[in-house]
């Protein structure tokens, strides 16, 4: 893989020449961050956030809002995110827009790539500058990168493995970083759920955000849902409580018998990172038992992929994945088109869907599978994130559909 160096200061030599310098030479600061790819390509930039180095898969995200939610989404574990939108940091950060439900663990993200320096925040909800927030969470960032060229390269050749490194003195062992990037095996075959799942069971009762009150407790509950945490996002839990559900969250390795012992009215399979086939080695047998119990089951993202594996379908690694907002998806059950948010590097192979499993949703970008359902059973899932609200509420009906299944089973 190769890419032309980014334009501007990031593509200049590491230090000004010692010979009689031009005026412009003195204006070029020493690069303090590198993006070192597995094929040896090195892109220089300027460090933001935490210092250090991390290896991961480079992907691009096309959303123009929600960078804090993106940076705290556990589904990005093992990845370095390149933001295609240039103005990152313009609304600062706050303590409310964090998606990681397990605050004892990091989101697992390996780093972030930006076109320009972090924008100064201008928003009444801002509590901290993004650079300070990145430092506090140990996330390495690099700015001054031609993200358009990087995005075009990924679209052409697929997601690539790389090391992101930040050193304020500009001191790097490039050969060692190249070896680390080349040695990293990639996300295929990798189970990253243990890095982000909760370690113990807990209850959730927080509702959706409302202005000007923020998040608050929802009203009376009518149903009990057990959510399996493969890398759960908080707003999914809020959407469930908004439908009158009392939610119990359990770790990813919880066995089906222990879940059923909690007497749930329905079971939710959450989003999460990594290869579904790898996580499925221990999760799929439990999902099969939950399906056989007759309980309504609803899955999102990784939960969708592992539900597909549980019913006999297959998953595959995508060329570049889907990461961003404004992805159009058609719901075959209603004929409507939804504007959705997506974040996945694996997908369900529609050609492998067995008899009795129908495709309910499809991406209008590339035709890939975005939803399945079992015929005659209250079991369904979608590939995208209905809680992320780019539509903004195009996909909220899915949570009501889940509750409708629960109420039908009760009666």
Q: Which residues of 370-407 are buried (b: 16+ CB within 10 A; e: fewer)?
A: bbbbbeeebbbbbbbbbbbbbeeebbbebbebbbebbe
Hey, what CATH class is 9-183 in? alpha beta
The pTM (predicted TM-score) of the whole model is: 0.92
Per the annotation, the verdict on 385 as an active-site residue is yes
| The pLDDT of residue 27 | 45
> Hunting for tokens 């790539």 — which residue is that?
113
Whole-number Å distance between alpha carbons of 251 and 229: 5
| The pLDDT of residue 182 | 97
Given the residues 59, 112, 245, 301, select the one marked as catalytic.
Answer: 301
| The pLDDT of residue 123 | 95
Residue 392 per-residue DSSP state: S
Given the residues 57, 69, 99, 387, select the one marked as catalytic.
Answer: 387
The CATH number of 193-410, from 3.40.1160.10, 3.40.50.880, 3.10.20.90, 3.10.100.10, is: 3.40.50.880
Per the annotation, the verdict on 239 as an active-site residue is no
- Delimit the CATH 3.50.30.20 region(s) of the chain: 9-183
Question: Residue 303 in contact with residue 269, Cβ under 8 Å?
Answer: yes
- Delimit the CATH 3.40.50.880 region(s) of the chain: 193-410
Instruction: Give the number of C-alpha atoms closer than 13 A to the C-alpha of residue 68, restricted to the C-beta side.
Output: 21
Strand order through the sheet with 315-331: 202-204, 245-251, 223-229, 266-269, 297-300, 379-382, 369-374, 357-363, 315-331, 337-348
> Hunting for tokens 């076109």 — which residue is that?
115
| The pLDDT of residue 215 | 82
> How many residues are given for the chain?
411
Q: Which residues contact 319 (CB under 8 A, 6 or more apart)?
A: 158, 159
Question: Residue 231 in contact with residue 271, Cβ under 8 Å?
Answer: yes
Q: Which two tokens stand for residue 123?
A: 């928003």
Q: Which residues of 15-35 are buried (b: 16+ CB within 10 A; e: fewer)?
A: ebeeeeeeeeeeebebbbbbb
The series of mean pLDDT values per 10 residues for the chain, 411 residues long, is 40 34 46 96 96 98 95 96 96 94 73 94 95 96 96 95 97 97 98 95 90 77 97 95 96 98 98 98 98 98 98 98 96 95 97 98 97 98 94 92 97 87
Alpha-carbon distance values, 236 to 33, 128, 228, 398 (Å): 35, 25, 12, 11
Per the annotation, the verdict on 387 as an active-site residue is yes
DSSP string, 350-365: GGGPPTTEEEEEEETT
Query: How many secondary structure helices (H) and strands (E) does the chain include?
Result: 10, 19
Q: Which residues contact 164 (CB under 8 A, 6 or more apart)?
A: 33, 34, 35, 36, 53, 54, 55, 56, 80, 110, 111, 113, 140, 141, 142
DSSP string, 241-264: HHTTEEEEEEETT--HHHHHTT--
**What stretches of 63-189 adopt beta strand conformation (E)?**
79-83, 111-113, 140-143, 160-166
Question: Residue 114 in contact with residue 87, Cβ under 8 Å?
Answer: no
Instruction: Give the number of C-alpha atoms closer than 13 A to the C-alpha of residue 100, restricted to the C-beta side.
Output: 22
Rounded to the nearest 10 degrees, the angle between the axes of helix 302-310 and helix 276-292 is 60
């Amino acid at each position: 893989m190769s890419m032309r160096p980014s334009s501007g200061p990031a593509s200049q030599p590491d230090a000004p020449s010692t010979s009689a310098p031009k005026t412009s030479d003195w204006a070029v600061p020493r690069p303090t961050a590198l993006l070192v790819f597995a094929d040896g390509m090195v892109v220089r930039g300027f460090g933001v956030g935490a210092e250090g180095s991390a290896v991961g898969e480079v992907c691009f995200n096309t959303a123009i809002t929600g960078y804090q939610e993106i940076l705290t989404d556990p589904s990005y574990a093992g990845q370095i995110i390149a933001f295609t939108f240039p103005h990152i940091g313009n609304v600062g950060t706050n303590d409310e827009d964090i998606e990681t439900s397990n605050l004892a663990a990091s989101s697992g993200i390996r780093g972030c790539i930006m076109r320009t320096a972090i924008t100064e925040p201008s928003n009444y909800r801002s509590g901290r500058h993004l650079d300070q927030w990145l430092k506090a969470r140990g996330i390495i960032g690099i700015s001054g990168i031609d993200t358009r060229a990087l995005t075009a390269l990924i679209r052409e050749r697929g997601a690539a493995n790389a090391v992101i490194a930040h050193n304020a003195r500009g001191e790097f062992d490039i050969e060692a970083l190249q070896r680390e990037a080349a040695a990293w095996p990639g996300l295929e075959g990798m189970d990253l759920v243990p890095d982000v799942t909760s370690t113990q069971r807990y209850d959730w009762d927080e509702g959706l955000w409302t202005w000007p009150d923020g998040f608050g407790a929802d009203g009376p509950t009518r149903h009990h849902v057990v959510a399996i945490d493969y890398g759960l996002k908080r707003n999914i839990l809020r959407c469930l409580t908004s439908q009158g559900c009392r939610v119990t969250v359990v770790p990813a390795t919880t066995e089906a018998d222990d879940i059923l012992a909690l007497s749930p009215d329905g079971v939710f399979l959450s989003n999460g990172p990594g290869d579904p086939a790898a996580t499925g080695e221990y999760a799929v047998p439990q999902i099969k038992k939950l399906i056989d119990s007759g309980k309504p089951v609803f899955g999102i993202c990784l939960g969708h992929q592992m539900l597909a594996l549980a019913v006999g379908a297959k998953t595959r690694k995508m060329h570049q994945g889907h990461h961003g907002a404004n992805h159009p998806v058609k719901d075959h059950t209603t004929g409507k088109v939804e504007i959705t948010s997506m974040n996945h590097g694996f997908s369900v192979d529609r050609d492998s869907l067995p008899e009795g499993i129908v495709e309910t949703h499809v991406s209008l970008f590339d035709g890939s599978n975005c939803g399945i359902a079992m015929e005659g059973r209250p079991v369904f899932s979608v590939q995208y994130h209905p809680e992320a609200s780019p539509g903004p509420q195009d996909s909220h009906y899915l949570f009501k559909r889940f509750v409708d299944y629960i109420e039908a089973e009760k009666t």
